[in-house]
Amino acid sequence: MAIDMIERRGKLIPGATGDWEVIIGLEVHAQVASNAKLFSGASAAYGGDPNAHVSLVDAAMPGMLPVINRFCVEQAIRTGLGLKAKINLLSRFDRKNYFYPDLPAGYQISQYQHPIVGEGEVEVDLDDGGSVPVRIERIHLEQDAGKSIHDMDPDFTFVDLNRAGVALMEIVSKPDLRSSEEAAAYLKKLRAILRALGTCDGNMDEGSLRADVNVSVRRPGGELGTRCEIKNVNSMRYVAMAVEYEARRQIGVIEDGGRIRQETRLFDVKTGETRSMRSKEDAHDYRYFPDPDLLPLVLDPAWVKEIEASLPELPDARKQRLIAEYGLSSYDASVLVADGERTAFFEAVARGRDPKLSVNWVTQDFFGALNKAGLELARSKVDAAKLGGLIDLISDGTISGRIAKDVFERMFETGDAPGDIVAREGLRQVTDLTAIEQVIDAVMAANPDKVAEVREKPKAFGWWVGQVMKASGGKANPNAVNELLRKKLQID
Amino acid sequence: MTESRTAGLLGHTLAGALDGLKAKRFSATELTRAYIQAVEEARALNAFVLETPDKALAQAADADKRYAQGAPRPLDGAPLGVKDLFCTEGVRSTACSNILGNFIPTYESTVTAHLWRDGAVMLGKLNMDEFAMGSSNETSCFGPVINPWRRKGSAKALTPGGSSGGSASAVAADLCLAATATDTGGSIRQPAAFTGTVGVKPTYGRCSRWGVVAFASSLDQAGPIAKTVEDAAILLQSMAGHDPKDSTSLPIKTPDFRAACARSVKGLTIGVPKEYRAPGMPPEIEKLWAQGIAWLQDAGAAIKDISLPHTKYALPCYYIVAPAEASSNLARYDGMRFGHRAQGRDLVETYERSRGEGFGAEVKRRILIGTYVLSAGYYDAYYLRAQKVRTRIAEDFRAAFEDVDAILTPTAPSAAFGLGEKAGDPVQMYLNDIFTVTANLAGLPGISVPSAVDAQGLPLGLQVIGRALDEETLFAVAAALERAAGFSAKPTKWWS
Amino acid sequence: MSVIDKSTVRRVARLARIAVPEEHLEPLAQELSGIMAWIVQLEEVDVAGVEPMTSAVDVSLPLRADNVTDGGDPERVLCNAPRAEDGFFVVPKVVE
Ligand SMILES: [Mg+2]
Ligand SMILES: [Zn+2]
């Protein structure tokens, strides 16, 4: 196959003999969020007693036949549309033949020659606020394998087929990634899109999303090197670590005069290293051929249109809209669009309120508190109406920003309405000028030396504001305090 | 029960037996007992690999109850044999391979489930070539089936053909009223021709493949072997029908096949393909074919010479497509979840030994051929090319069926041959299917009708191939041939 | 096309996970070569522009609803296993 890649200079890795460029492509396996498996009626739920979610089809009993799950097909189409990819109205299923105890039929049903989804694109957001386009080669539907457990017996492997036959979407990128950071950012973006689409829950701990990482190195702009495939890496951090390790390993081998062998490797999370997989050594002749138990998958264009019309707003569009509608910074918008729930929360808060104030309260105070408490948004006692109410109290001068922080802390703990907290605890801001004047007089009477000092050194003015606010229990209106203090201390 | 009463019970056709049961001339239990005894007495034929008399009697008792209540089902109380390729719940199913060992399915194939739904009685599981790979029944792990027919004045054991040899022998020897069988390249029609029985391979997709051990998925079809065309129609009626568990099962209604047997062939055009005149074909078969043409003409059909130019490539095409699919279909027999597991030093050796020991020579040969033609670098030259040739073969038929309603050919290039006579050369053995394999490749229905005995006293069959889904015309033409041929010869009962 | 030699039989048998004793390789190679020599007549057929036929029925793939209708009975899938323990299939040690 001809290598189709974009020439783009990424981060270079210095070696002993000069700089190297790393070329990365990802094959991401995303589990379809379906009730039943791709070709059988057994449950696709995570967990369960061993072999409890297994039908006779999944166990490849003699004479068993596959029948495809319509919902899984729909999710592949939805995902394709979400990645701005071509939907192939005619696709086929092929058998990939190899022997392994967690592959009961001796073949995996996959789509080799005619995948359901063709080329697409993902805009990957980088930490520096920039972005790079990464092209999608294809998406196909295929079966997951079962689970082999090696540590239950020294001489035997135990096999659980609960995962066998669960529907996966394999999303294959072109080799457009140029650094470990980009690879991780790509996976992060893909996850956000899948979650927004609802086609995959993106739960990486449960293996719902995992990546095969193809890595090769070359001299900047030079001829492509031999690639190695690192199997089943299941977090963004591990993807970055695996790329980092593998690139340096390959550079080391080449600089020592060696050659890279095309192979499948395993990422060891304990050591952070990759190593060759023995079990895959002679598995390279998969003898793909069209599965004669299945017929061509022909999609009705009207169905595809219907799915397209039902697509939710996706992260990129959402981000652009947030920037345009609310005047948010690219960074704030990125933080919000990572998750549909968060966007919705922000928009509910910002409706009819100051967007800048809203975004600060939502992303910094509220998300910060959620993070600190390790709480999911949906389980927080503070809803958008309450947080919005708090912002209203600041805007209409009822409380100061400073007091608002305390009120928020209470709200977060108890779920009480901000107005109730303010009333109950007497936190209403004092705007009565005579009351503030009395406080100022008292502070001045107690600190005659400081009165003289501030006239010499205007920088000491901050201390005065602090003292007055403190004496008022934080309730004095800061603007009024400022104005009256200047008058009384005779500074301008 | 007297000897003659038993013999009388065994002489019935399926239609006749169902009439007798309905008229209460005998009970299902009586009929079943007679067949159980016949099966026991005929073990020399090696047609049954597992007898299930208890199950049969229980099913017969249920049938008798329904007759007593006046609510019988279509096949109530009819004792049948089941090819061991069909998985039967709680009853050992082996595909006649050591690799399945003592496999006892926890499920019932759709086709056999239809039979039990309709009240049929299971006498047991029938011998066959291992995984249905063979044309002489000699590859079975239980040893070959013996054809009840012998050459005049000879006691030499002949093959009943294959792979459904047990089904054909059992029906020919009156060990059951009819039997299920399967046909991937001719495995129903060739044994039917070798044993003087009727065999039908329906249109691909007519019968569900669910629960039938797969050989070559795009070619396999279940069908009946029976004593008469009408019996075959009755049995197929029950076996057929859409099954949502098989993605290749056709979502269509099953027509009234039995009624179609009574249709006239007047006005039909029958095609005679010149390519089926195989070099070295015995003159008697040539003669029978001409006779068949004359019979149909007499019955009012028009005859038309046609050409199916890619016929000679059908068999080599089949020997790429079928082994390729088989090599993958049989990968599940790995000793991990069921069946035979050999001792090995490690996983790979366990796989290799289990499969090396479990599969017989012919199955291994075909797995190796299939693996080879799919392997890297050969796929395009062999598998892809074969699939294109298959398209050509199907196009030949499509063109022919624009001018004709059915096609008449011999079923097999010879009569039954002796055991061991063709065992040395695989290709010679493969040539048995030369006239039948085209229908499998094109997915068309075909039927073999016993039409004559040759000079040695062995039966010969004629084949009718129909349009896809037009089994009705197939049954009409076959019934016309059957009436004209008046075939009534029976093998001499030498086995008990 | 190529004739099948001993090393090809060894490679293919390995792919198919079938033990073939060394002394059987040569006879098997000849047997398979004989079959392939007969099969190569397919090269005579003009297949230019011909679509491969992958199924014998002319309908599209039927789709089923996403309902859980099966599973939940481990014994049903384990009962024929040469070896099973604690609900698992037990197989020779797999080295990854
Ligand atoms: Mg992959
Ligand atoms: Zn994959």
How does pLDDT run across B192-238, given as a tens digit for each residue?
A: 999 999 999 999 999 999 999 999 999 999 999 999 999 999 999 99
Are the CB atoms for B200 and B466 separated by under 8 Å? no
pLDDT at B30 over 80: yes
By the CB < 8 Å criterion, does C80 face chain B?
yes
By the CB < 8 Å criterion, does C56 face chain B?
yes
The DSSP call for residue B88 is: B
Q: How far apart are CA B145 and CA B164, in angstroms?
A: 10
Q: Which ligand is nearest to the CA of A169?
A: 2
CA–centroid distance, C8 to ligand 2, in Å, is: 28
Coil/strand/helix, residue A483: helix
Q: Which ligand is nearest to the CA of A111?
A: 2
User: A284 to chain C: nearest residue by CA?
Assistant: C15
Please judge whether C95 and A278 are an interchain contact, meaning their C-beta atoms are less than 8 angstroms apart.
yes
Q: Determine the distance from the C-alpha atom of residue C29 to the mean position of all C-alpha atoms in its chain, rounded to a whole number.
A: 19
Listing DSSP states for A200-256 in one string gives ----TTTTSEEEEEEEEEESTTS-----EEEEEE-SHHHHHHHHHHHHHHHHHHHHT
Are the CB atoms for B146 and B102 separated by under 8 Å? no
The confidence score (pLDDT) of residue A330 equals 85
| CB neighbour list of residue A479: distance below 8 Å, 6 or more residues apart | none
Q: How far apart are CA B417 and CA A427, in angstroms?
A: 107
User: C92 to chain A: nearest residue by CA?
Assistant: A156
Please judge whether A287 and B216 are an interchain contact, meaning their C-beta atoms are less than 8 angstroms apart.
no
Compare CB distances from A101 to C14, C65, C91 and report the shortest one's residue: C91
Compare CB distances from C16 to B349, B368, B382 and report the shortest one's residue: B368
Q: Which chains touch B (3 or more CB pairs under 8 A)?
A: A, C
Q: Residue C64 corresponds to which tokens in the numbers above?
A: 């089923």
CA-based nearest residue to B200, from B148, B246, B119, B261: B261
**Run of H or E including B459:** strand B459-466
By the CB < 8 Å criterion, does C48 face chain B?
no
CA–centroid distance, B82 to ligand 1, in Å, is: 43
Compare CB distances from B332 to A60, A65, A293 and report the shortest one's residue: A60
Whole-structure pTM value: 0.90
- Lowest average pLDDT, out of B91-100, B151-160, B423-432, goes to B423-432
Please judge whether A289 and B328 are an interchain contact, meaning their C-beta atoms are less than 8 angstroms apart.
yes
Q: Residue B3 corresponds to which tokens in the numbers above?
A: 């000897």
Angle (CA) B165 B16 B224, round 5°: 30
Compare CB distances from C47 to B312, B341, B389 and report the shortest one's residue: B389
Other Cβ atoms less than 10 A from the Cβ of B86: the count is 28
Bridge partners (DSSP) of residue A142 are: A168
By the CB < 8 Å criterion, does B271 face chain A?
no
User: B252 to chain C: nearest residue by CA?
Assistant: C59
Are the CB atoms for A342 and A384 separated by under 8 Å? no
The confidence score (pLDDT) of residue A1 equals 42
By the CB < 8 Å criterion, does C2 face chain A?
no
| CB neighbour list of residue B68: distance below 8 Å, 6 or more residues apart | none
Interface test with B, best of C2, C50, C57, C69 (most B CBs within 10 A): C57
CA-based nearest residue to A347, from A369, A371, A318, A374: A318
By the CB < 8 Å criterion, does B383 face chain A?
yes
By the CB < 8 Å criterion, does C47 face chain A?
no
Q: Name the phi and psi angles at A121, rounded to 5.
A: -155, 145
Q: How far apart are CA A446 and CA A449, in angstroms?
A: 9
Residue numbers in A near C62 (CB within 8 A): 67-68, 295
Q: How far apart are CA A156 and CA B350, in angstroms?
A: 12
Compare CB distances from C17 to B352, B382, B389 and report the shortest one's residue: B352
By the CB < 8 Å criterion, does C66 face chain A?
yes
Q: Residue A434 corresponds to which tokens in the numbers above?
A: 């005579």
User: A55 to chain C: nearest residue by CA?
Assistant: C71
Q: How far apart are CA C19 and CA B352, in angstroms?
A: 5
% of chain B at pLDDT higher than 90: 95
Please judge whether B250 and C57 are an interchain contact, meaning their C-beta atoms are less than 8 angstroms apart.
yes
Query: Phi/psi zone of residue B420: left (φ > 0), alpha (ψ -120 to 50 degrees), beta?
Result: left
Q: Name the phi and psi angles at A126, rounded to 5.
A: -100, 165
Determine the angle formed by the axes of helices C22-39 and C6-15, rounding to 10 degrees: 100
> How big is chain A by its Cα radius of gyration, in Å?
30
Q: Residue A54 corresponds to which tokens in the numbers above?
A: 């297994």
Q: Name the phi and psi angles at B29, rounded to 5.
A: -65, -45
Coil/strand/helix, residue A132: strand
Q: Which ligand is nearest to the CA of A96?
A: 2
Coil/strand/helix, residue B313: helix
Q: Which residues of chain A have pLDDT under 70?
A: 1-6, 9, 278-283, 492
List, for residues C61-75, the tens digit of each pLDDT value: 999 999 999 999 999
Q: Which ligand is nearest to the CA of A229?
A: 1
CA-based nearest residue to B46, from B116, B118, B126, B104: B126
Angle (CA) A375 A406 A412, round 5°: 25
| CB neighbour list of residue A459: distance below 8 Å, 6 or more residues apart | none
CA–centroid distance, B209 to ligand 2, in Å, is: 28
The confidence score (pLDDT) of residue C2 equals 56
Q: How far apart are CA B111 and CA B119, in angstroms?
A: 13
User: C17 to chain A: nearest residue by CA?
Assistant: A99
The DSSP call for residue B146 is: P
Compare CB distances from C95 to A57, A279, A290 and report the shortest one's residue: A279
pLDDT at B304 over 70: yes
**Inter-CA distances, B32 with A55, B8, B52, Å:** 36, 13, 11
| CB neighbour list of residue A406: distance below 8 Å, 6 or more residues apart | A427
Bridge partners (DSSP) of residue A276 are: A265
The confidence score (pLDDT) of residue A260 equals 94
Please judge whether B219 and C56 are an interchain contact, meaning their C-beta atoms are less than 8 angstroms apart.
yes
Bridge partners (DSSP) of residue A87 are: A117
Coil/strand/helix, residue A136: strand
pLDDT at C1 over 50: no
| Catalytic machinery residues of B | 83, 163, 187
Portion 280-319 of B in contact with C at CB < 8 A: 310, 312-313, 316-317, 319
